[in-house]
Amino acid sequence: MQNINKIKNLINSEYAYLMAEHDNWSLVSGSKNMEIVAHALRVILHAGDVKHHEAEWLAVVDCQNEEGAWGGESDNPKSAPWASAFLALMLIRANAILKNKKITASIEKSIDFFIKDQKADGRWIDPAWADLDTTSHPVSFFNVVLAIGEPKWKKKVLKSWRAGLKFITDNQNPDGSWVDKDFHPTGVETTAHLVQDSVIASLCFPDRKEVAPNQDELKKVCAKGMEKLISFQAENGSYDNDNMDHTMDSMRSLVIISRVLREEKKCTPVIEKALDWILEYKCAQGWPDFPGMKVNLERTCDGLDVLLKYMVWREKDWKQAVRRWGYVTGIPSFKGLRRPKTKQLSRAKV
Amino acid sequence: MTRSWHSLAKVSDFNSAKSKYVDLGNKEIALFFVEGKFHATDNFCPHRGGPLFRGNIEPGPNIRCPLHGWNFDMKSGQSLNMPQATITTYPVEIRGEEVFVHI
């Protein structure tokens, strides 16, 4: 089991590194890939540092297109549903702290976009991603709308959320995995994404029995997904042939599943082994996609998110872990953040 | 930009591996040895920069990005599941023990 003080120190040193890389992920300093932006904002949110970075969230609002979505790149407004859902999720979660009217209006626009963009069978489509993976993202956004959103929003998204969730649960394989034969034949990443981003939230809402009356069925879906994720792990603790991204996804997925299903005993050795491997192949600063490769910012943000989620996974209150996904009310925080000195942030034209 | 032949690997490098990558500073090249033939492509997937040399080699031969599954024909560079996407492929020649790539 990892030493918590060591993890805290690591979070602080990696957070300082992320802030030093500010110009490479921040919209405030110019055009960016929006997936990188969303990954960095998630770290800031989970580090409890949102108030010091409000300009970053407002810069995201400034990039929203007329439809209510975002492009994959900030300078290309063509709607990209996968990235848009990730950004909308960051907006609604941060706005529980910021309570900014511009952000509220932006969230409303994105809700309307996703309701309109959904296909008849409940899926969403983004040509750059597998449909199952794409669908899990608006469902994840709507999960948070249902958990912490305004009552009128909840009413608006419920039907669409149920259809998206049904598309996902209907496509689970009997062995508990989700596989996309065109994009993800191994199913590791898709399975990890779909449980943590979509299905597990339905077991967490305070009014879950009204929102999702088929609780027993959804619990079974998550339990089967959990068993499959456990079985996917390699002897060395990694997933998918030493794939850092997929190991981080799988570990984080087990963090929330284990706390919601109260399966900590079964999942603890798997989570600890995965984290040991993730830390073994960390570089001096940041993480690579595979051991021995150069670090990249997206994986470094994922690595920080892993550590921040591990911290709350070790807490007594199971809801602290769920709060890291936004599926219950309350503000995520990290006690002990040493805020690095950063340049004065002001909004630039993006 | 003028292209020229570069020695990027030894044939014996592929005794135990089917792929490797070479960092040229301004770009990375992935090398594959499949069914007795060498292939060279860009190492980074145009989607999210996944390292193709760590991808799954599939019949074709094709290379599937290990991050999000974009799949490319190693000979033409054309993606099979993302019609608009391509990667650059490079001619390969074996000269004695050396693997030369035209970059």
- DSSP secondary structure, A219-262, as one string: HHHHHHHHHHHHHH--TTS-STTT-HHHHHHHHHHHHHHHHHTT
Looking at the 3D structure of chain A, how many domains does it have?
1
pLDDT at A54 over 60: yes
Assigned token pair, A264: 């900590």
pLDDT band of residue A257 (cuts 50, 70, 90) is: very high
Domain that holds residue B38: 5-102
User: Mean pLDDT of all residues in chain B?
Assistant: 94
Report the pLDDT value the prediction gives residue A331, as an integer from 0 to 100.
85
Residue of B nearest to A240 (CA): B66
Report the pLDDT value the prediction gives residue B16, as an integer from 0 to 100.
80
Q: Is A73 an 8 Å CB contact of chain B?
A: no
Percentage of the residues of chain A whose pLDDT score is greater than 90: 89
Give the nearest partner residue to B67 out of A127, A242, A289, using CB atoms: A289
**Does the N-terminal peptide bond of residue B61 adopt cis geometry, omega within 30 degrees of 0?**
yes
pLDDT at A343 over 70: no
pLDDT at B55 over 80: yes
Instruction: State the best of B62, B67, B70 to mutate against chain A, taking most chain A CBs within 10 Å.
Output: B67
Q: What value does the mean pLDDT take over residues A21-38?
A: 96
Can you name the residues that pair with B19 across neighbouring β-strands?
A: B32
Residue of A nearest to B71 (CA): A183
A154 HSE (CA, 13 A, CB side)? 13
* Cross-chain Cβ contact A290/B54 below 8 Å: yes
Domain that holds residue A238: 4-323
**Distance (Å) of CA A126 to CA A42, A83, A119:** 21, 9, 11
pLDDT in tens, B21-53: 999 988 999 999 998 999 999 999 999 999 999
pLDDT at A284 over 80: yes
Q: What value does the mean pLDDT take over residues A269-291?
A: 97
Q: Is A276 an 8 Å CB contact of chain B?
A: no
Residue A206 main-chain phi, psi, to 5 deg: -60, -35
pLDDT in tens, A235-245: 999 999 999 99
The CATH number of the domain holding residue A99 is 1.50.10.20
* Cross-chain Cβ contact B66/A182 below 8 Å: no
Q: What value does the mean pLDDT take over residues A61-90?
A: 96
The CATH number of the domain holding residue B67 is 2.102.10.10
pLDDT in tens, A296-324: 999 999 999 999 999 999 999 999 999 99
Torsion sign (Cα): A235, A236, A241, A246: positive
Residue of B nearest to A180 (CA): B69
- Ranking A2-11, A55-64, A337-346, B85-94 by mean pLDDT, the lowest is A337-346
Min CA distance, B47 vs chain A (Å)?
7
A199 is a domain residue: yes
Which residues in chain A have their CB less than 8 angstroms from residue B67's CB? 243, 245, 289
- Ranking A107-116, A269-278, A330-339 by mean pLDDT, the lowest is A330-339
Which residues in chain A have their CB less than 8 angstroms from residue B70's CB? 183
pLDDT band of residue A179 (cuts 50, 70, 90) is: very high
Q: In what order do the strands lie in the sheet with B19-23?
A: B19-23, B28-34, B37-42, B89-90
pLDDT at A350 over 50: no
Ordered DSSP codes for A63-96: H--TTS---SBTTB-S--HHHHHHHHHHHHHHHH
Residue of B nearest to A291 (CA): B54
Q: What value does the mean pLDDT take over residues A270-286?
A: 98
User: Mean pLDDT of all residues in chain A?
Assistant: 94
Run of H or E residues at B58: strand B56-58
Instruction: State the best of B63, B68, B71, B84 to mutate against chain A, taking most chain A CBs within 10 Å.
Output: B68
Closest to A204 in 3D by CA, of A156, A161, A143, A158: A143
Min CA distance, B1 vs chain A (Å)?
27
Exposed, middle or buried: residue A87 (CB in 10 Å: 0-12, 13-18, 19+)?
A: buried
Percentage of the residues of chain A whose pLDDT score is greater than 70: 97
Report the pLDDT value the prediction gives residue B1, as an integer from 0 to 100.
64
pLDDT at A345 over 90: no
Give the nearest partner residue to A289 out of B50, B71, B82, using CB atoms: B50
Q: Is A293 an 8 Å CB contact of chain B?
A: yes
A166 is a domain residue: yes
Greater pLDDT, A161 or B1: A161
A residues 179-238 lying closer than 8 A (beta carbon) to B: 180, 182-185, 189
Report the pLDDT value the prediction gives residue A239, as an integer from 0 to 100.
97
A338 is a domain residue: no
Exposed, middle or buried: residue B98 (CB in 10 Å: 0-12, 13-18, 19+)?
A: middle
A225 is a domain residue: yes
Residue of A nearest to B66 (CA): A243
DSSP 8-class letter at A319 = H
A328 is a domain residue: no
* Cross-chain Cβ contact B51/A289 below 8 Å: yes
pTM for this model (two decimals): 0.93
Looking at the 3D structure of chain B, how many domains does it have?
1
Q: What value does the mean pLDDT take over residues A285-293?
A: 96
* Cross-chain Cβ contact A289/B66 below 8 Å: yes
* Cross-chain Cβ contact B54/A289 below 8 Å: yes
Min CA distance, A303 vs chain B (Å)?
15
Which residues in chain A have their CB less than 8 angstroms from residue B64's CB? 185
Query: Are B88 and B77 contacting, i.e. CB atoms less than 8 angstroms apart?
Result: yes
pLDDT at A142 over 70: yes
Q: What value does the mean pLDDT take over residues B8-19?
A: 91
